Structure 1
Amino acid sequence: MLTMHEINRSVEQALAEDCPTGDITVESTIPADAMGSARLVAREPGVLSGIEVFAAAFTLQDNRITISKAHDDGYRFSTGECLATVAGPVRGILTAERVALNFTQHMSGIATQTQRFVDAAHEACTKHGTKEPWIVDTRKTLPGLRQFEKYAVLCGGGHNHRFGLSDAVMVKDNHLAAMKEAGLDMPAALRAIRSKISHTTTIEVEVDSLAQIPLALQGGADTIMLDNFSLEDTQRGVELIAGRARVEASGNMTLERIPDVACTGVDIISVGALTHSVKAIDLGLDWD
């Protein structure tokens, strides 16, 4: 979960980057005692995320600035809606504007993209009467912004995969190759891992063929990731696993593919595109 400590730390860094020795434009054009207000307005429809980050950018710049939120994170807004009002010293508002918008536009873009994937999976599974999988993110995030981006996924109705390498065991193809060189096959390797970790830590294994699934099950994997499987092989993989482990589908998950993959019976669909190439939502600060 995104904390105020994390918000304040990152926003302070962003403000220092953008205004290291003062805003020479506002200081040379705006009287020091000028007061005003502006509205955060949606230029296109989307899902709101980062409203507290938006507020922090202004209040950390000048604690006399006040923010009136019209909606909370997770709200689905339409074009033209006012999402918040900012009031106070004009110099502070103008100085913090870009930092505030950068965070909120990016986070709302992720929330909006996530909502599209979640809705697509829900509609397909409802239509076909199949179990609905979780739509989850990945570690394909911008360095330093992972907490913000993963929080935005939650705002869009998605779920979080592991936050980092310390959270869970995930054995991928390169791990398997390295272990094979050490003389360990997959079941033996997974059992060796299990003997070294806490009982609260889960093990996920990435497989790239149906033939690897029995080996992952023999080793006691908690989750088996079907990486870049065809639709037919994904369905077959779900049948082979038969509830003995969670099934995650991953690899090239586009909005167009999600409805079909969602109806295969998988438990989880991980989507790197929720964060790694998302388009920012167009939000503007309109002066009153």
Structure 2
Amino acid sequence: MNPYTLPDHELERLLGEDVPAGDATTLALGIGERPGRLDFRARYEMVVCGSEEARRLGELRGLTATGAMVASGTPLAAGATILSLEGPAAGLHTVWKTAQTLMEYLSGIATSTAAIVAAAQRGDPDCAVVCTRKNFPGTKAAAVKAVLAGGASPHRLSLSETLLIFAEHRAFLDATPAASIARLRRRWPERAIVVEVGDLAEAQTWAQAGADIVQLEKWPVEAVADIIRQLPGTRIAAAGGINASNAEAYARAGCRILVSSAPYFAGPRDVAVTLSAL
């Protein structure tokens, strides 16, 4: 499942970071025109992500993909081939590290995401995992692709397209909760309104005011289960500290929305590379 592919201008930017003025070593050795092959393989089990970008990086430098490419979102066993590229050594050396590293980091996010999704669905098949906007700045498009490849969805793509009232917003409000909700509905009638709360009283107040989703930040499982019982009909999102070790418990407690930043901090999944002359 490939959600989308990063555009060429972004891939050119990545190549430009690593090779701003040509590959000095390959040029000085005079081997740039010799034909070769670059094979990428999963060193360990993983959910692959970024293979489409790796292939396109090669194409942008005159390389050709040979054989089948494994699409983003595909679970792979250790040792499985992801992608093979053939062409001049100059292109192979230019693309090698950028393509490898991009797949490693994105596959790390996708693999971590898939583990959280699997845990949540063991608790409740209808439980959804959504990932925050806490990706490393400048990497959003790539990070969101990895989240989608892992089976989750974005919690908030940006401040521009979501309505989420934090305590930090409420510190500036003079209006009542009901008036604040009504204002948001007038101004952004197509958007769901989410309110993050700190305790049961706040949850009840904002649910009664008409919030579509009440978000609970770092609440223990037992407290989440209790509030779900007390607020029937209100969608509850559990956030803060959600990971593969506790997602099943939150899902079993009745929470249908689990908000997580954990995948962005996952370690890369190693991609083994073989570069050989033909």
- TM-score normalised over the length of structure 2: 0.93
Q: Which residue of 2 aligns with 1:175?
A: 169
Residues 81-108 of structure 1: CA deviation (Å, up to 9, x unaligned): 1111111111111111111112111111
Equivalent position amino acid for 1:178 in 2: F
Q: Which residue of 2 aligns with 1:79?
A: 78
The answer for unaligned runs of 5 or more in structure 1 is 126-130
Q: Which residue of 2 aligns with 1:52?
A: 52
Q: Which residue of 1 aligns with 2:38?
A: 38
Q: Which residue of 2 aligns with 1:217?
A: 207
CA–CA distance in structure 2, aligned partners of residues 249 and 214 of structure 1: 16
Equivalent position amino acid for 1:234 in 2: V
What value does the CA root-mean-square deviation take over the aligned residues? 1.7
Q: Which residue of 2 aligns with 1:184?
A: 175
Check whether the contact 2:3–2:148 (CA below 8 A) recurs between aligned residues: no
Which deviates more, 6-15 or 46-55? 6-15
Check whether the contact 1:238–1:266 (CA below 8 A) recurs between aligned residues: yes
Residues 86-140 of structure 1: CA deviation (Å, up to 9, x unaligned): 1111111111111111211111111100111111122233xxxxx5310110000
Moved segments of 4+, more than 6 Å: none
Q: Which residue of 2 aligns with 1:114?
A: 113
For this pair of structures, how many residues does the alignment match? 275
Identity of aligned residues (%): 26
Where 1:144 maps in the other structure, the secondary structure is coil
Check whether the contact 1:26–1:95 (CA below 8 A) recurs between aligned residues: no
Q: Which residue of 2 aligns with 1:201?
A: 191
Q: How does 1:1-288 map to 2 (within 5 A)?
A: 3-4=4-5, 6-60=6-60, 62-125=61-124, 132-179=126-173, 183-197=174-188, 199-243=189-233, 245-275=234-264, 277-288=265-276
The change in CA–CA distance for 1:223 and 1:15 in structure 2 (over 3 A counts) is same
CA–CA distance in structure 2, aligned partners of residues 11 and 2 of structure 1: 17
The answer for unaligned runs of 5 or more in structure 2 is none
Cα deviation for residue 30 of structure 1 reads 4.3
CA–CA distance in structure 2, aligned partners of residues 271 and 175 of structure 1: 21
Where 1:178 maps in the other structure, the secondary structure is coil
Cα deviation for residue 235 of structure 1 reads 0.6
Which deviates more, 24-33 or 62-71? 62-71
